[in-house]
Amino acid sequence: MELPRRFPAGPAAVARLLLVLLMLVARPAAACTSYMVAAGASADGSVIIARNDDGEGAVSPSSLQYHPARQGPAVFRANLNQLELELPGPGLAYLSLPAGPLADPASGRNTSGEAAGVNEAGVAISATESIYNSAAALAADPLNEESGIIEDVIPSVILPQAITARQGAELLGQLVSQHGAGEAFGVLLADSREAWYLETASGHHWMAQRLPHTSFFISANQGRFQEVEEGRDGVLVSPGLRRFAVESGLWDPSSGRPFNFFKAFMRDGAAEANYCYPRVCLLQHMFGGCPAACNARVAPTFMQPAPARITPQAVMAAMRNHWDGTHHDPYTHSNPSEPWRPIALLRTGMGHVTVARPPSDDVPDALSVIMYAAMSTPKLSPFVPVYKSLPGDALPPELATATPEGELDRVSLFWRARRLQALVFQDWRALAPPAADAIVAWERQVERQERPAFEARYAKALRHKGKAAATQLLVEFSHRVAREAGALLDGLVGDTARRLGLPGVPSDDRLLQLLNQAAETYAFEPASDGDDNILRRDKAVWHGKGTAGASLFAPRAAATE
């Protein structure tokens, strides 16, 4: 059975693809987009953190895992470098979303590569947002790639310990100061009261800020902190940060210019012009009505939402954006050379929107944190609600199981979604809209009907029948929505195959081939800072000569859905 070929599929092309994939296996995620919404900026008083976890290729499966509480200390060994830590006991139980299996359990190393999670105390984390420190900052204080803190480590080390988001930021900062950072990163942390974001400045220096109560925050592979008043409540910094900046020639206080974290420590070259700034500009426009002509190479660190407060569904819509309705949309216009990187990528291994709600009579503690998980790229994968208290021995198989790279299974939402995506990319313009609309319609039904009804039943059972009866309802609801999501994807796969004029769904080998080809074609990898081609289009806009304005952007994500 042959599909209409929109990508080269001969033996030579496959061989080249395999070589590329082998070269990418050991590389960490290089590009994500992160979102944070404070309680006073969200529609219902929740704290929201979210991230598209963009990896390499499209075949590293994501899944849901549970880590039980432990009484004593534990030795943690990183998988991607030589870091070894002793974690104190007791350790909190937590749910996590690994970005793919990294090691054999027999190795004694971290096997999961967790990208996000939530613990039993209601602390949520997402790690990491890849950022880039300046060459001068790293020359003065190099990264500790051999045994420093990296993405492979952070959720696995912080979630067993942190009982508040602030404590999580403090713990992470202490680890960076002590062991060094193995890569530059930003990390999102939240609880039901507040959200914190930490950025590394160099090998051993960092800053963390609490998100202002009525603000939202966006990061897109670039440092975002600017002028910050150290010592005030809501700001944490590494010891001697300013002294290091002065002694290293990164900031001259005699110049009269205030200390600026971004200017002192972050890369801001040609590569960022098309890869980073447009995404921040787009999202600030969608959520805050920020003027849409992204001419300036600066953007506010924090913004207040306008005209309405932000919902989780608005964040989900933003995570699915690919410059919809503009000439920058690479998928609709079949333009893999589009210089403005879209938010929605095929190489997104997982997207999550974590919502932390203050416990109340209507929201028992067990239901206070929901981690909505889309296995693979959210554009063509449904967000499934996962509550923080879902028992570890009752995880839905659709979320908790996924076969290794290149072995498509029939159970996991990850591979069922990847089948759909492999087909949709054969004719995006015709096939993506109906599939994406069906996914959003299912999510809307869950949010408006199924989930509120479940929460009401849970609260009633907890009051009248006890925790065990309520927990059983939680398990049943979680399994039901996961099954529904799987059935939805299977139906869309069949429908998409028919729209392509095929007699049936292609074989898994053929689908995997198509998936890899599409992921390679539309990779949108970050360019090096010295890439001469990075400004090959839209250069005039960045220098204030373009005419791009509000009409460039798709309508703002609905904030009241």
Q: Is the predicted pLDDT of residue 2 greater than 80, yes or no? A: no
Give the torsion through C-alpha atoms of 20, 22, 27, 28, to 10 deg.
Answer: 100
Q: Is the predicted pLDDT of residue 4 greater than 70, yes or no? A: no
Q: In the prediction, which pLDDT does 101 show?
A: 62
The whole-angstrom separation of Cα 13 and Cα 5 is 13
> Could you tell me the pTM of the whole model?
0.90
**What digits encode the pLDDT tens for the residues 186-205?**
999 999 999 999 999 999 99
The whole-angstrom separation of Cα 353 and Cα 265 is 29
491 lies in some domain? yes
554 lies in some domain? no
Name which residue leads in pLDDT, 525 or 73.
Answer: 73
Q: In the prediction, which pLDDT does 25 show?
A: 36
Look-up of token digits 């895992």 = 65
Q: Looking at 32, 276, 290, 294, which residue is catalytic?
A: 32
Q: In the prediction, which pLDDT does 529 show?
A: 54
Q: Is the predicted pLDDT of residue 22 greater than 60, yes or no? A: no
Q: In the prediction, which pLDDT does 103 show?
A: 62
343 lies in some domain? yes
**What digits encode the pLDDT tens for the residues 114-161?**
999 999 999 999 999 999 999 999 999 999 999 999 998 999 999 999
Beta strands in 262-311 (DSSP E): 302-303
548 lies in some domain? no
561 lies in some domain? no
Q: Is the predicted pLDDT of residue 174 greater than 50, yes or no? A: yes
Nearest Cα to Cα of residue 51 among 334, 370, 354, 279:
354
527 lies in some domain? no
448 lies in some domain? yes
CB 404 within 8 A of CB 505: no
Query: 30 pLDDT band (50/70/90 cuts)?
Result: low
Give the CATH number, domain containing residue 66. 3.60.60.10
Query: What is the three-class DSSP state of 393?
Result: helix
Number of structural domains the chain divides into: 1
Catalytic annotation present for 276: no
Count the neighbouring beta carbons within 10 Å of the beta carbon of residue 293: 17
C-alpha to C-alpha distances, 262 to 135, 207, 281, 429, nearest whole angstrom = 13, 11, 17, 39
552 lies in some domain? no
Question: What is the domain range of residue 100?
Answer: 11-520
Q: Is the predicted pLDDT of residue 268 greater than 60, yes or no? A: yes
The whole-angstrom separation of Cα 308 and Cα 319 is 18
Minimum mean pLDDT among 37-51, 132-146, 151-165, 546-560: which range? 546-560
**What digits encode the pLDDT tens for the residues 296-318?**
567 899 999 999 999 999 999 99
